[in-house]
Amino acid sequence: MFLPKQFLDLGSRSAVGVALHRLVKAGKIQRVRRGLYHLPRPHPIMGQTGPDIIATVRALMEGSHAQWQFTGAYAANALGLSEQVPAKVIILTDGLARKVPLGKLTLVFRRAAPRNLLGAGRRAGLVIQALRYLKGSAEMDTHVARLRRDLDVGTKKDLTALTPGLPAWMKPLAQQITQN
């Protein structure tokens, strides 16, 4: 994912815009939306890949100083806990609420209370949102075991630091994930 402003050291704003327009026309890059481009990669089954959702959200939120966090099915899918791929990705934020269409996918930014943004923008926050989404699942023990096995040490340390701010029902799950 890249923005035209990243190339301003190579030429004027209009020259960069013309160059990017020509690359889009030639099919070398894809325009995700105004001022946001990505380099599609070939995929053996799907043809060309779409834009990386996490990189797209980072690019959209860059410079806004707003916190953001993926929720629900997307968080569980990103961690490998669910095979469900949502058609609408919901992102909690303390910034502006808006909808951003990305082809067949829609990014929905929703305003949220600070308690729901615990670990925002970090992998530990993704774990918290996935646990919230999977609450009451009959397979919760399996999900906790998988997270315990798959998460890196840094994410586990981050989750340990965030545990005091978690809801009471989630604290034991977080402790199970982070214990050695």
DSSP 75-97: HHHHTTS-----SEEEEEESS--
Alpha-carbon gap, residue 42 to 108, rounded angstroms: 27
Instruction: Identify the pLDDT of residue 86.
Output: 81
Long-range Cβ contacts of 50-57 (<8 Å, 24+ apart): 50/102, 50/103, 50/105, 51/1, 51/102, 52/1, 53/89, 53/102, 53/105, 53/107, 54/78, 55/1, 56/1, 56/32, 56/102, 56/107, 57/91, 57/107
User: How would residue 42 be classed by pLDDT, with cut points 50, 70 and 90?
Assistant: confident
Tokens of 16: 């960069």
CA distances from 155 to 3, 6, 119 (A): 29, 30, 10
Alpha-carbon gap, residue 152 to 174, rounded angstroms: 14
Q: pLDDT tens, 54-113? A: 888 888 888 788 999 998 889 999 999 988 888 789 999 998 899 988 777 889 999 999
Q: pLDDT tens, 127-173? A: 999 999 999 889 999 999 999 999 999 999 999 999 999 999 999 99
Tokens of 5: 């402003």
For residue 108, report the phi and psi dihedrals to the nearest 5 degrees. -115, 115
- Which sequence spans correspond to the domains of the chain? 1-51, 53-178
Instruction: Identify the pLDDT of residue 84.
Output: 84
pTM: 0.79
Q: pLDDT tens, 14-38? A: 999 999 999 999 988 888 888 888 8
Check if the beta carbon of residue 66 is closer than 8 Å to that of residue 58: no
Number of H helices, E strands in the chain: 7, 8
Residue 25 has a CB neighbour count (10 Å cut-off) of 10
